[in-house]
Amino acid sequence: MQFQFDFNDFRGFGSGGFRPHVKKPGRKVVVSLIILAVLFLGIYYYVTLPAVNYQETGFWAVLIAVFAVLTLGFGAKTLQKDSKTKGLFKVCFILLILTVGVFAVGMLLSSKVVSSSKYAGRLKVENKTFEKDMKETERITDIALMDTEGARIIGDRAIGSLSDVVSQYEVSDSYSQIDYDGKPMKVAPLYYASFIRYMNNRKSGIPGYVQVDPITNEAKYVKLKKPMQYSPSAYFSRNLKRHLRFQYPTAMFEGYYFEIDNEGNPYYICPVLKAYAGIFGAKDIKGVVICDPVSGKSIYYDKDHVPQWVDHVHDGRLLLKKYNWKGQLSGGYINSIFGKKGCKVATDDYGYRVIDGDVWAFTGVTSVNGDNSNIAFVMMNMRTAESKYYTVSGANEQSAMEAAEGQVQHLGYSSAFPSLINVAGKPTYVMILKDKGGLVKMFAMVNVEKYNIVATSTTQKGVLKEYKRLMKEEGIISSKDVGIDSEQTKEIQIADIKFIPIDGNTYVYITDKEGQVYKQEFSKNEEMIKYKSDMKIKIKYEKSDDGIHTMIE
């Protein structure tokens, strides 16, 4: 190793000895700061995947951070009287001030204080009459009553016996409610169970998805002919979010929702947002990116040209937010804070209805003061955002759930979020009751306007019949609405009688001499304890195709 000694590096003799001369880095400092800034931005972008879009607040936060770091760096050198960085310090300082100023003005223009009318105008709501617009429900066997929690339990069981699948993958918790070939369906993709399992299976991909029927409470695993290569659970370039970000660097994605088309092909529906108030405010859907997770190909569609089979364009939470903008800000921001004249808000949760090939989110509407009653309901199409407002006052969803649970409190069942239906012209909540394991045990129906009218049954057909009977007793509907015409009266001779406990309730099964079976809940007619073989009784019953008829009286 050789050393070169330059006397010019040591200047100033005196009592203090030699004083070393240190060269000012100048250009090296500039280059180093720029390299660090670029390196920081590159790592930040790859990890967090922000939209490079002036309508994204995070984009401005990064700009402010970069200009602040450069200003501090060049400022420190300027204080050391480095003339080479003085000009750069001024430029960065001016850019920092301008960026902060534009951001602040943008936030003001985007606020509800300034742009309340733009927020309120994001959702068009049409007033409708419930009895006329909502088709009357003749049966509830085509209504999706299962919640996401129940779908997860059944879905996990669908792959539980597939050792090659369950050891490497897990079912996503994010079930999507869709319309599948005219029927309600919940679907969820498989996810890589961990980073190690991703590394072990990155070449083979994700083999399939789970399909849960919310009506029959059945699930099946669907194995794909070609596996999915792109997923939110994948890593590096196969991560769906990173894959789409590199394809659409300026898109502000609202979410990534798994759906299948009517042929069962998997897709991710990725709504894209745009600000409609100022620079950042009133973000709403402007279109969607539909990505094929098998090939990785994606296509952008404007919101007015989304394919018919797509259901998840407007997320339910976004629809609730848009309704609240309208309900609270239609009279102006000042009114929403002080006078609150005409202000109303949606309840905290929402349910689904599949109607004529589209999925609708529905929720109750209450006053801003907040109580246990609704003043109306609103239904919002999750594909088109078409919205309908029904002026129906009564119990809110939570009160109806509590009323249903009260009927079976001795069994400890809990209620899922209800669906809204029309029974004999009356708005009605219908819901499932689950045990602690999440399994569906019973069905319940609660009258919206008089929520003391609560019917429960172990069958969908039975709860509808019982609910109509209770409404008739209350004088709300007529005998014709109950369906007396479908009932039959008959004298039978008992051949056998059994008392069978089912889920905490006792049911009486009577077999007559002709081999027909009639059942009734024992608590509805305790006189049946006196019935014996060969006894003749006169009964009123509803005929069933399976030969097990339901006794009414």
Q: Is residue 176, in this structure, part of any structural domain at all?
A: yes
- 8-state DSSP, 136: B
Phi and psi dihedrals of 139, rounded to 5?
Answer: -150, 155
First to last CA, the chain: 109
C-alpha–C-alpha distance, residues 135 and 427, integer Å: 11
Whether 85 and 203 share a structural domain: no
What pLDDT is recorded for position 2? 46
What pLDDT is recorded for position 263? 92
Whether 218 and 309 share a structural domain: yes
C-alpha–C-alpha distance, residues 205 and 293, integer Å: 10
Contact 266, 208 (CB under 8 A): no
Whether 360 and 428 share a structural domain: no
Q: Is residue 227, in this structure, part of any structural domain at all?
A: yes
CATH assignment of the domain containing 532: 2.40.50.110
Domain end position, chosen among 428, 457, 482: 482
Whether 344 and 425 share a structural domain: no
Q: Is residue 398, in this structure, part of any structural domain at all?
A: no
Whether 226 and 304 share a structural domain: yes
Whether 150 and 275 share a structural domain: yes
What global pTM score does this model have? 0.81
Helix%, strand%, coil% for the chain, nearest 5: 35, 35, 35
Beta strand residue intervals within 193-336, DSSP E: 206-213, 218-228, 252-253, 257-260, 266-277, 281-291, 298-302
Q: Is residue 121, in this structure, part of any structural domain at all?
A: yes
User: In the structure encoding, which two tokens stand for residue 71, read together?
Assistant: 């200003």
What pLDDT is recorded for position 21? 47
What residues have CB less than 8 Å from 446, skipping those under 6 apart?
Answer: 395, 400, 403, 404, 418, 428, 429, 431, 453, 454, 455
DSSP string for 460-495: HHHHHHHHHHHHHHTTSS-HHHHTGGGEEEEEEEEE
Whether 505 and 448 share a structural domain: no
Domain end position, chosen among 295, 313, 331: 313
C-alpha–C-alpha distance, residues 484 and 516, integer Å: 21
| One pLDDT digit (tens) per residue for the chain, 553 residues | 444 444 444 444 444 444 554 444 456 766 777 788 788 888 988 999 999 999 999 999 989 988 898 888 777 766 666 666 678 888 889 999 999 999 999 999 999 999 999 999 999 999 999 988 988 887 776 677 888 888 888 888 888 878 778 889 999 999 999 999 888 899 999 999 999 999 999 999 999 999 998 887 889 999 999 999 999 999 999 999 999 999 999 999 999 999 999 999 999 999 999 999 999 999 999 999 999 999 999 999 999 999 999 999 999 999 999 999 999 999 999 999 998 998 999 988 898 888 888 999 999 999 887 667 899 999 999 999 999 999 999 989 999 999 999 988 888 899 999 989 999 889 999 999 998 888 888 899 999 998 889 999 888 888 888 898 889 888 888 766 766 445 678 888 888 888 888 656 788 888 888 888 888 888 777 888 888 888 888 887 777 655 677 777 7
Whether 194 and 267 share a structural domain: yes
Strand-pair category, 426-434 with 414-415: antiparallel
Please name the amino acid found at residue 46. Answer: Y
Q: Is residue 535, in this structure, part of any structural domain at all?
A: yes
Whether 171 and 264 share a structural domain: yes
Residue span of the structural domain in which 29 resides = 21-110
Q: How many of the other CB atoms lie within 10 Å of CB of 15? A: 4
- 8-state DSSP, 449: S
Whether 418 and 542 share a structural domain: no
What pLDDT is recorded for position 35? 84
Whether 477 and 529 share a structural domain: no
Q: Is residue 226, in this structure, part of any structural domain at all?
A: yes
Q: How many domains does the chain have?
A: 5
Domain end position, chosen among 482, 498, 523: 482
Whether 333 and 374 share a structural domain: yes
C-alpha–C-alpha distance, residues 36 and 45, integer Å: 14
Q: Is residue 463, in this structure, part of any structural domain at all?
A: yes
Place of tokens 């419930």: 130
Q: Is residue 172, in this structure, part of any structural domain at all?
A: yes
